[in-house]
């Protein structure tokens, strides 16, 4: 019989180290992937954030009120640690930066990139919402709570983040390599009927 998170938490509060190991093994793989994406794929940074997250979670375990799932609560702690790291490095912005997206796209040229790399290239605010909504399956209400923003902001960020991802994932085309436009009779007729 598998113990649920609440049973494990109660056992941890009573001093059961084996319950902590089980809770850690249950949540760490998913949490590590989330943190890796948040910090832009830097493994050393992700491992540091993960360790800080667990230390903070265990220290605050008495304050866990079961209003949300343990997974959501732990994710909130991890997000705060990621934000702190990215702010410290000057890489966190609450809102996405369309200029940063355009600059990144120009520097990539015609190169195609994979989705993980594209997510890592997003400004941190966009990346946060995409990861939480599209990768981890959180609702906009949960994201708003986790990030401390309005639900509408979460929805807007997701819209802009998806647009930015499409821009990053589409190969830049050289006009010389675009397919030819075939001039059909109907196109000529339509063009001649348009008056300036």
- The pLDDT tens digits for 5-32 are 889 999 999 999 999 999 999 999 999 9
For the domain 1-92, what is the CATH code?
Answer: 1.10.1740.10
49 vs 42, higher pLDDT? 49
Tokens found for residue 47 = 């491992």
- CB contact at 8 A, 153 and 129: no
CATH class of 93-174: mainly alpha
Tokens found for residue 183 = 């001039």
Where do you find CATH 1.10.1740.10 in the chain?
Answer: 1-92
Percent of the chain with pLDDT over 70: 74
- Residue 3's CB: how many other CB atoms inside 10 A? 14
**Cβ neighbours of residue 146 closer than 8 Å, sequence gap 6 or more:** 72, 75, 76, 79, 132, 138
136 vs 41, higher pLDDT? 136
Distance CA 141, CA 94 (A): 17
Tokens found for residue 132 = 């939480």
Tally of CA atoms within 13 A in the half-sphere of 1 that contains its CB: 4
Where do you find CATH 1.10.10.10 in the chain?
Answer: 93-174
Distance CA 37, CA 135 (A): 10
């Amino acid at each position: 019989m598998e113990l649920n998170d609440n049973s494990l938490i109660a056992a941890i509060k009573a001093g059961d180290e084996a319950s902590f190991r089980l809770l850690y093994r249950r949540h760490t793989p998913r949490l590590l992937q989330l943190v890796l994406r948040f910090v832009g794929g830097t493994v050393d940074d992700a491992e540091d954030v993960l360790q800080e997250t667990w230390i903070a979670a265990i220290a605050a375990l008495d304050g866990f009120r079961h209003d949300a799932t343990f997974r959501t609560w732990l994710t909130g702690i991890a997000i705060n640690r990621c934000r702190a790291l990215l702010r410290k490095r000057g890489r966190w912005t609450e809102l996405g930066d369309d200029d940063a997206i355009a600059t990144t796209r120009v520097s990539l040229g015609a190169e195609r990139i994979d989705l993980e790399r594209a997510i890592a290239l997003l400004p941190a605010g966009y990346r946060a919402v995409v990861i939480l909504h599209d990768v981890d399956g959180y609702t906009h209400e949960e994201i708003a709570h986790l990030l401390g923003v309005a639900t509408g902001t979460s929805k807007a960020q997701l819209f802009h983040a998806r647009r930015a991802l499409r821009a990053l994932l589409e190969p830049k085309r050289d006009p010389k390599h675009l397919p030819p436009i075939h001039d059909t009779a109907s196109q000529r007729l339509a063009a001649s009927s348009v008056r300036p």
